[in-house]
Amino acid sequence: MVCKWDPKITTLPGLYILSMALHTVFGIPCTVFFLRLTNIMISYLNFCLIHNIFSCLCTSRKVPKKNSFVTWNTINTAFFPVMYFFNFLYYTESVSTLFVLAAYSCSLNKKYWLSAMFGFLSITVRQTNVAWVGFLMVAHVIDYMAIDIPFVRRYLNIILNQGLLKAVDYLVKKEKIYDRLEILFSNIIGYFFVCLLFLVFLAWNRGIVVGDRTAHEPVIHLCQIFYFAVFVLVFKPSLFFSKIKCFIAALKRNVFLSVLCLGVISLIVHVNTMAHLYLLSDNRHYSFYLWRFYCAVSSKAPFVFVPLFMFGLYSIESIINFYPWKYAYYFSMGLLIIPQKLLDFRYYILPFVFLRLQILKDEWWQLAIESLAIIVINTVFLYIFVTKEIYWVDFKEPQRLIW
């Protein structure tokens, strides 16, 4: 077998090594059909992991767990249109999601070294997954500290009433602080090593991208956060019905803050809107047509989408507002999408899936609206993919329309 690297491939070869291993061990033919079949099989594993994560989260957060609702949430998440679509193609999204979900599942089940291993494997498929390894590490530290809130309160009370020296003595003798730190450190050391190895890779590679870097130069693209917020509203449409009243009430209750937020978002849209060359020229992606629509509307009403951006951000905040690790999520999500100049919906898959996994208390009508939207979108977009052909002058084969 001759191995040749195409410089247009800018991710690490984890998916291709997996395919080669399946070919070598099981004798699976290295054809387009079987390569794509690999991702379909992986999608089943993703389904199982999503179900396990929902079950674990319901148990740990003491949410009344009905098996039918856990399964319904799992189906809606696993069939989320962008992720579902790429299960049928030989892209890195399915296996990338598999390893990240496996890392998250192991973390919830307190198997931290195994979680770190899956985190490492996720980076071999997509370098930016290091953000999720960092998220799992920080989230565990925050959750560990949140459990010990009574201990923190006792410690602060001793500082105030008896002084710092007494408090230090209390930490060492009564609360066994060294034992606590040892447990915490042993839990996160695997994540730490993975992040450290990634920093070594960055220094050696002189950047995050392998292959051709010209199309993937990092930028500061804050508008990506707003596009992701709208993305969440589109693929979780029940938020329109469940959050809109609270959103309007919040605007009325905090008029000054609301005006300030509108002003800041408008300013960012004005100075930070940018378009990658691929977005302007590659008509095989829906983002190409959506961008044309966005520019056409914005040219006549520049800030017409700002209230929608604000509502999307409010909806995201309302989903994770009560979790102590929410800022770690925001940081990881921002680290993933803000440096990307290209508007590519694939970048939003894992941030959306992580967000969707936190929604545990939906009523049946909210799940039904989501299911209906998923069925309609998946049916229409697969039909278009099969029937719509795009021809390029310099390319003999017909092109297909994808996310």
Task: State pLDDT tens for residues 187-201.
Answer: 999 999 999 999 999
pLDDT of 159 > 90? The answer is no
The pLDDT of residue 316 is: 96
In whole angstroms, give the CA distance from residue 46 to residue 381: 21
Note the pLDDT of residue 397.
Answer: 86
Listed by start position, the domains of the chain span: 14-399
Q: The tokens of 107 are what?
A: 């973390």
The pLDDT-based confidence of 350 (bands split at 50, 70, 90) is very high
Q: Calculate mean pLDDT across residues 9-15.
A: 87
In degrees to the nearest 10, what's the CA dihedral of 374, 377, 380, 386? -90
Residue 4 phi/psi, 5-degree rounding, is -135, 130
pLDDT higher than threshold 60 for residue 174: no
Q: What pLDDT is stored for residue 288 in this prediction?
A: 95
pLDDT reported for residue 331: 94
Least confident range of 68-77, 154-163, 313-322:
154-163
Q: What percent of the chain has pLDDT over 70?
A: 90
- Phi, psi dihedrals of residue 374, rounded to the nearest 5°: -65, -45
pTM for the structure as a whole? 0.91
Q: Could you tell me which of 80, 57, 84 has the C-alpha nearest to residue 69?
A: 57
Confidence of residue 151 (pLDDT cuts 50, 70, 90): low
CB atoms within 10 A of CB 214: 9
Average pLDDT, the chain: 89
Contacts of 290 (CB under 8 A, 6+ apart): none
Element (H, E) at 50: helix 32-60
Lowest mean pLDDT among 157-166, 279-288, 297-306, 339-348: 157-166
pLDDT at residue 213 in the model: 80
Contact 274, 219 (CB under 8 A): yes
147 against 41, higher pLDDT: 41
In this predicted structure, the answer to whether residue 308 has a pLDDT above a threshold of 70 is yes
* pLDDT tens per residue, range 42-79: 999 999 999 999 999 999 888 887 788 999 999 999 99
Please tell me the predicted confidence (pLDDT) of residue 145. 73
pLDDT band for 153, please (50, 70, 90 cuts). low
pLDDT band at 131 (very low <50, low <70, confident <90, very high): very high
What is the average pLDDT across 220-237?
Answer: 97
CA distance 260 to 263: 5
Going by C-beta distance under 8 Å and a sequence separation of 6 or more, which residues neighbour residue 271?
none
| pLDDT for the residue numbered 64 | 80
